[in-house]
Amino acid sequence: MTTAITAGPRKVLKKHDTEYTLLGTAHVSKASADEVRGLIRSGEFDAVAIELCPTRYKSIIDPNALEKMDLFQVIRQGKAGMVAASLALGAYQQRVAEESGIAPGEEMKAAIEEAQAADIPLLLIDRDIGTTLKRVYRSVPWWQRSGLIGGIIGSLVTKDKVSAEEIEKLKEGDVLQSTFNEFAEESEHLYQALITERDHYMALRLAEDNGDSRYKKVLVVIGAGHLQGMSESLEGHLPEDPSIQRALLDSVPPGSRWPKYIPLAIIALVIIGFVIGFSRNTELGWQLVLDWFLINGTLTGIGVLLAGGHPLTIIAGFFAAPFTSLNPTIGAGFVAAGVELYMRKPTVGDFSHLRHDVTSVRGWWKNRVSRTLLVFFFATLGSAAGTYIGGFRIFGQLAAAG
């Protein structure tokens, strides 16, 4: 059968004994989904590769996967930020999808279904989304990270309608890139980790999965923003053992060490302040302790209140913060989130409605799952502010009393 004329950008190239057809798609376009179905049904291909990692593949084939998430373990293992970021990015795609009338990733879902129907191998070639987001965050200079976070928040609060023409323009770029480009300042570091690295990663994955050229004609379904970069990587010189380079791109660069020492230094100074205060005057010492307790507890309680936490969660945050601020092994956010989960255990409905609820700001406070994440973040921020402000207050009083 002959391949139908396609509307989306594509490139056909030969590597060793395999012909790769790289098809650039829009992740929220019915035309792209129909195009994918037509190409696979043509019978020309003996394998299909798609721009998905196992995590995103699972979310497509198992839409109820979120219902199995252990939220307490997510927070305990330090994955709350990654889950929240993934939800926020998914919310942006969902908002665009609701306005376009097509589910996000429909062309990937079409590729999965058609590959299964044709009984041909399906190759998952993209890097794990969690690794990508971590590398994005670590690669961007610290002074630009607020813009990065602002881009994610902006994708939630914007009320602008997305026209059909704008949706089709997503063919010109990657959905993740479009999210950040629309709401955050463009960054060379951001583009490198978000697009360039993944272009090369997917080429390496193809070379690794088809190193013996067992598949002679492969359809590669990718976002159009990856078309040029990935084709250049495939046409260029790839190592004999692609797994070594791929492993490097799968690693997460270590963060700077010095920011970790700042809270420890402040805690040490606060304790020294208490010692100095009691050595001068018992009454002064207890006053410093009281100020520390009230500042930490109040700011954390306010944070939990702003997150819509349960009254007992607010109280727990208030009393926990002064102690957790002096203990780097546990945070006030963890305590507050644990109490919130106990008092308002998320229902199956909360998990099943999570993807839709987080498409609006109000929904984040309405859904018990996302609200628990907010309790964790707001309590953590309140406790951090309390630590710094409380520390300055203690030394201000010591200076005044000296």
Which DSSP string do the residues of 107-167 spell out, in sequence order?
HHHHHHHHHHHHT--EEE-SPPHHHHHHHHHHHS-GGGHHHHHHHHHHHHH------HHHH
Per the listing, tokens 């945050």 go with 317
Q: Per residue, what are the HEC states of 207-225?
A: HHHCCCCCCCEEEEEEEHH
pLDDT for residue 33: 87
What are the two backbone dihedrals, phi and then psi, of residue 252, each rounded to the nearest 5 degrees?
-110, 120
Say how far apart CA 111 and CA 220 lie, in whole Å. 10
Task: Please give the pLDDT value at position 148.
Answer: 60
Per-residue pLDDT tens over the stretch 167-202: 555 545 455 555 554 444 456 667 787 788 999 999
The pLDDT of residue 170: 53
Query: What average pLDDT does range 273-298 have in this prediction?
Result: 91
| All structural domains of the chain with their residue ranges | 10-250, 258-401
Of 383 and 262, the structure prediction assigns the larger pLDDT to 383
Each residue of 65-85: pLDDT tens digit?
666 677 888 888 777 777 777
Instruction: Please indicate whether residue 123 or residue 63 has the higher confidence score (pLDDT).
Output: 123
State the chain's mean pLDDT as an integer.
Answer: 82
**Under 8 Å CB-to-CB from 133, ≥6 apart: which residues?**
82, 85, 86
Q: Which of 264, 266, 258 is nearest to 393 (CA)?
A: 266
Q: How would residue 101 be classed by pLDDT, with cut points 50, 70 and 90?
A: low
pTM assigned to the model:
0.71
Residue 159 has pLDDT above 70, yes or no: no
Instruction: Decide: residue 222, CB within 10 A, 0-12 exposed, 13-18 middle, 19+ buried.
Output: buried
Burial label for 150, CB within 10 Å (0-12, 13-18, 19+), is middle
Six-digit token string for 34: 């129909």
Interval 358-381 mean pLDDT: 89
Residue % of the chain over a pLDDT of 90: 39
For 129-139, write each residue's pLDDT tens digit: 888 888 877 77
Position 237 confidence tier, pLDDT thresholds 50, 70, 90: confident
pLDDT of res. 7:
56
Residue range 313-340: average pLDDT? Answer: 91
Contact 356, 87 (CB under 8 A): no
